[in-house]
Structure 1
Amino acid sequence: MKALILNCTLKPSPEPSNTRALADEVIAALIDHGVDVDVQRVVDLRIPFGVQSDMGTGDEWPAVRAQIVASDILVIATPTWLGQPASVAKVVLERLDAMISETDDAGVPLAYNKVAGVVVTGNEDGAHHVIAEISGALGDIGFTIPGQAWTYWNMGPGPGPTYTETDHGHDWSRSTGRTMAANLVAVATALQHHPIPAPPSDG
């Protein structure tokens, strides 16, 4: 089983990423379940705005898309800014939009039979709103969202330290991340045995 984690931090490498630090807890749990995990820091790639699978010369999204198609599990990890998903995460969702109308040779939408989850960090609140926005969009595209397929961390209302600057709330976020990983693997395994069929034809 394969998983792809898209880290949608605004910080380019090699700057430390709080979002990656929490995502690492989910990654470790997925590996414990025998999952082969790959990670992309999206801001390091040239991914233009758009809603097509390939925007032409220099677009690095097609390689990411190929990883998504080859994976059973997709996790979008994002910081919270102004109570919203990071702009990088929104670009990812817009580029994924093209998959709504893309199918395999049997007519099954490409995102069907793949599961997805969300990791959210931020020293401000709004995590549930971010999770809802991303999960809703992924569901529209065709991904299956298991129950409690998310984990998050925040410091609470107002400014404060970041995830890596405090131990506050880490135990809960780790525990929730382990549950998230287990649920993603359980539903991905179920879909391997009982896949969602192609949508009924209009005829």
Structure 2
Amino acid sequence: MRALVLNCTLKPSPEPSNTDQLAAVVVDALRREKVEVEQVRLVDLTISPGVSTDEGSGDEWPSVHEKLLRSEILVVATPTWVARPSSVAQRMLERMDAMLSETDDDDRPVAYNRVAGVVVTGNEDGAHHVISEISGGLGDIGYTVPGQAWTYWNKGPGPGPSYTDTAEGHDWSAKTGRTMAANLVAVAKALAENPVPAPG
């Protein structure tokens, strides 16, 4: 089984990413479940605006699309900015919109029988809103989002330290992240045994 983690941080590599640090908890838990995990920091790529799988010369989204099709599990990791997903996460969803019109050999949308979850960090509140925004978009595209397929960390209302600046709340976020990984694997296995049929 394969998982793809799309980190939607605004920080290019090798700059440390708070979102990457919390996503690592989920990655470790997935690997303990014998899942092969690949991680991509989207801001490191040239991803053109648009809603097709390939927007032409210089566009690096097609390589991400191929990774999505090779993965049964998708984890979207994003920071919170003004109580919303990052602009990188929004562009990711816009590009994934093309998957709505792509089908597999059984005439099912290509996102069917794949599961997805969300990791969110931010030093102010808004994580639940971000989780619902990303989960709703992925559900529209065809992914199955299991119950409690998310984890987040924030400092609470008002500005404050970032995830890597404090140990406060890490235990809860890590425990929730491990549960997230277990739920993603359990539902992915269930869908492999009993796949969702083609629409209509």
Both structures adopt the same fold (TM-score exceeding 0.5): yes
Letter in 1 for 2:12: P
Corresponding residue of 2:169: 169
Corresponding residue of 1:77: 77
1:102 paired to 2:99: no
Unaligned runs of 5+ in 2: none
Corresponding residue of 2:35: 35
Deviation at 1:9, TM superposition (A): 0.2
Deviation at 1:105, TM superposition (A): 2.0
Letter in 2 for 1:63: S
Alpha-carbon separation, structure 1, partners of 2:162 and 2:105: 46
**CA deviation map 1:46-83 (0-9, x unaligned):** 00111000001111100100000010000100000000
Structure 2-normalised TM-score? 0.99
Moved over 6 A (4+): none
Corresponding residue of 2:145: 145
1:111 paired to 2:111: yes
Corresponding residue of 1:133: 133
Corresponding residue of 1:9: 9
Alpha-carbon separation, structure 1, partners of 2:136 and 2:33: 26
Alpha-carbon separation, structure 1, partners of 2:190 and 2:108: 17
Unaligned runs of 5+ in 1: none
Root-mean-square deviation (CA, aligned residues, Å) is: 0.4
Number of paired residues?
Answer: 200
Alpha-carbon separation, structure 1, partners of 2:104 and 2:54: 17
Deviation at 1:104, TM superposition (A): 1.0
Alpha-carbon separation, structure 1, partners of 2:160 and 2:166: 10
**CA deviation map 1:121-173 (0-9, x unaligned):** 00010000000000000000000000000000000011110000000000000
